[in-house]
Amino acid sequence: MKVAIQGIEGSFHDIVAKRFFGDEIETLQCMSFTELPELIESEEADAAVMAIENSIAGAILPNYALIDEYNLNIKGEFYLNIHHNLMALKGQSFEDIKEVWSHPMALLQCRKFFRAYPHIKLIEEGDTAEVAKRISRNQIKGVAAIASKEAAKLFDLEIHKDDIQTIRHNSTRFFILKKGKSTPYYKSKMNGTKNKASIKFITKHNKGSLAEVLDIFAKHEINLTKIQSMPIIDQPWSYAFFIDLLIDDFKLYENALHLINTKVNHLNILGEYEQNKNHEI
């Protein structure tokens, strides 16, 4: 099985892909998120792993846009507790480090740590593990990477500081994506293991239209775990809403979608899947 990931071996996406699908997969390594849906669309990849939100940095809106643009189907989710570690070539001291290279999200999640070291220059790069690999391969002194312990082992780097993320419990949620257009609500087919859904809807231009939709969920005792708005590019000041919800009773869920469909201009199911819990690296 071929799975597209953002980053290389040792990256957090790589860890999630192997935890979800097993070690026997072949990973297709991408340096940007935009490459992931392209590989699925061309059928070069059977699936993709894509980070969608972080407990510190929040939602990754461009990735919601990619899922929508390419009509990707959400087949699962995976929560990974992220531990950021500062690593460099062996034989150096922490005082030798003058620059830190890493992914912008990793730098953002460790911002508080670096306030105490204003002399260290922070450089944005495409992937955490790729930076670790480059430092090791080119024997770059005075530069550190922020990456996983797995990356430190793979590329023989020394960890100078561990768990440098601003908040100790730092979790990232990943979507497992496959090809297949989002499904109209009336074609939903649930089974016993699927207890969570992601849907997209566009409200009508009426006062209180969003409140009406949320009220329907409340009356059907459906718990919403996430609501995210995103502007519609070709309709200024209009928004699409992406909602994650838990399904305790499929009939209530089905009835709620039927009623919501009468209140909105557009309603699609982006995915129905099994709820996932946090995992440690």
Q: What is the pLDDT of residues 38-79, one digit of tens each?
A: 999 999 999 999 999 999 888 999 999 999 999 999 999 999
Strands 239-246 and 26-30: unpaired
Q: What is the mean pLDDT of residues 183-187?
A: 53
Q: What is the pTM of this model?
A: 0.89
Domains within the chain, CATH numbers bracketed: 2-81+171-176 (3.40.190.10), 85-161 (3.40.190.10), 182-275 (3.30.70.260)
With 90 as the cut, is the pLDDT of residue 154 above it?
yes
- Give the separation between CA 20 and CA 47, rounded to whole angstroms: 11
CA distances from 131 to 8, 17, 134, 163, 208 (A): 10, 20, 5, 18, 48
What residue has token string 């928004």?
239
pLDDT at position 16 is 97
In contact, 234 and 255? CB cutoff 8 Å: no
More confident residue, 180 or 271: 271
Q: Average of pLDDT values for 235-241?
A: 85
Q: What burial class does residue 77 get, using C-beta atoms within 10 Å of its C-beta: 0-12 exposed, 13-18 middle, 19+ buried? A: buried
Average pLDDT over residues 248-263: 94
CB 41 within 8 A of CB 70: yes
The rounded mean pLDDT for the chain is 92
